[in-house]
Amino acid sequence: MPPCKICASKTKTIFDQQFEQNYYHCPNCEFIFLDESKTISAEQEKEQYKFHKNTPDNQGYVKMFQDFIEQAIKPYKNQIKTALDFGSGPGPVLASLLKHEGFKVDIYDKHFAPEKVYQGKKYDLITATEVFEHLKDPLATLKLLQSLLNKNGLIAIMTLFHNSKEEDFKKWWYRRDATHICFYTPKTFEVMAEKLGMEVLLTDDKRICVLVAGLGFEPRLLASKASDLPLVDPAIFLTDTFDPTSNPAV
């Protein structure tokens, strides 16, 4: 069994009988990742995204981002002027919504906006929504994003969290997407943040995590739980039948 990609601890195997493939689960940081021999190619990955309805006319998709902004970004809005939507997808819906909030926004996407516009720049906010489940090396990607942040800059992440129960994982709809190759809990992001000298500011324990570039973030801006924030209808995050479809890996 390979060691954990996040913390290098020993992993245990989860055999997915439905798809005849192995996942590896780290008991220490709770990271789960697919055996690399079963990952699909970049070409197959891009082809898969053609079936996703990640467009402005998909009301559920737009609502997902509106709720994400309300929970993960607006509490810190007064410190944000510039943003990078990392993994923006074929139709940069989130970027458009962020511009509406008054931010200057760049986009990058491995498949659909491949120019590395972020090179030589720093941002107050980086969003990575439905991105981290696609990454072969999430710690390296997080380190890259960290390097692009201004002082006290934020990384707002959205990826559905698993509950660490093997039997539930093997029935979980989120793993069925062939482009989804790794899965997290809030603890996973806490371990990643600690490794990089970052801090977890917020998690809703469902799919949202906000990190800050360094330790010692201004306390008056701190919101440690989604319950500290304005109420938002959580239904879109709780249903097992609504699949937000995923942005491409980066």
Report the pLDDT value the prediction gives residue 235, as an integer from 0 to 100.
30
Report the pLDDT value the prediction gives residue 216, as an integer from 0 to 100.
56
Tokens 């990742």 locate to 33
**What is the average pLDDT across 156-172?**
97
**What is the average pLDDT across 83-97?**
94
**Residue with the larger pLDDT of the pair 158 and 231:** 158
Close Cβ partners of 43 (under 8 Å, ≥ 6 residues apart) = none
CB atoms near residue 96 (< 10 Å): 16
**What is the average pLDDT across 139-168?**
97
Token pair of 63, please?
A: 């609502």
**What is the average pLDDT across 73-91?**
95
Query: What are 98-128's pLDDT values in tens digits?
Result: 999 999 999 999 999 999 999 999 999 999 9
Report the pLDDT value the prediction gives residue 49, as an integer from 0 to 100.
78
CATH pick for 12-238 out of 3.20.20.70, 3.30.830.10, 3.40.50.150, 1.20.1560.10: 3.40.50.150
Measure the CA–CA gap between 115 and 118, rounded to whole angstroms: 9
Measured at the CA of 146, the angle between CA 140 and CA 148, to 5 degrees, comes to 115
Token pair of 194, please?
A: 């600690």
Query: What are 176-235's pLDDT values in tens digits?
Result: 999 999 999 999 999 999 999 999 999 999 999 999 997 655 543 444 333 343 333 323
CB atoms near residue 7 (< 10 Å): 18
- What DSSP string describes 70-126? IIIIGGGGGG-SEEEEET--SS-HHHHHHHHTT-EEEEEBTTTB-S-TTTT--EEEE
Token pair of 104, please?
A: 């200057």
Report the pLDDT value the prediction gives residue 206, as an integer from 0 to 100.
97
Report the pLDDT value the prediction gives residue 47, as an integer from 0 to 100.
87
Measure the CA–CA gap between 250 and 244, rounded to whole angstroms: 18
Query: What are 38-79's pLDDT values in tens digits?
Result: 999 999 998 887 766 667 778 889 999 999 999 999 999 999
Say whether 20 sits in a helix, a strand or coil. Answer: coil
Strands 123-129 and 82-86: parallel
Close Cβ partners of 141 (under 8 Å, ≥ 6 residues apart) = 132, 135, 250
pLDDT band at 90 (very low <50, low <70, confident <90, very high): confident
pTM: 0.85
Strands 123-129 and 149-158: parallel
Query: What are 2-14's pLDDT values in tens digits?
Result: 999 999 999 999 9
DSSP type of residue 211? E
Residue 159 has pLDDT above 50, yes or no: yes
Residue 91 has pLDDT above 90, yes or no: no
Measure the CA–CA gap between 197 and 176, rounded to whole angstroms: 33
Task: Answer yes or no: are the C-beta atoms of 157 and 207 closer than 8 Å.
Answer: no
Task: Answer yes or no: are the C-beta atoms of 89 and 121 closer than 8 Å.
Answer: no
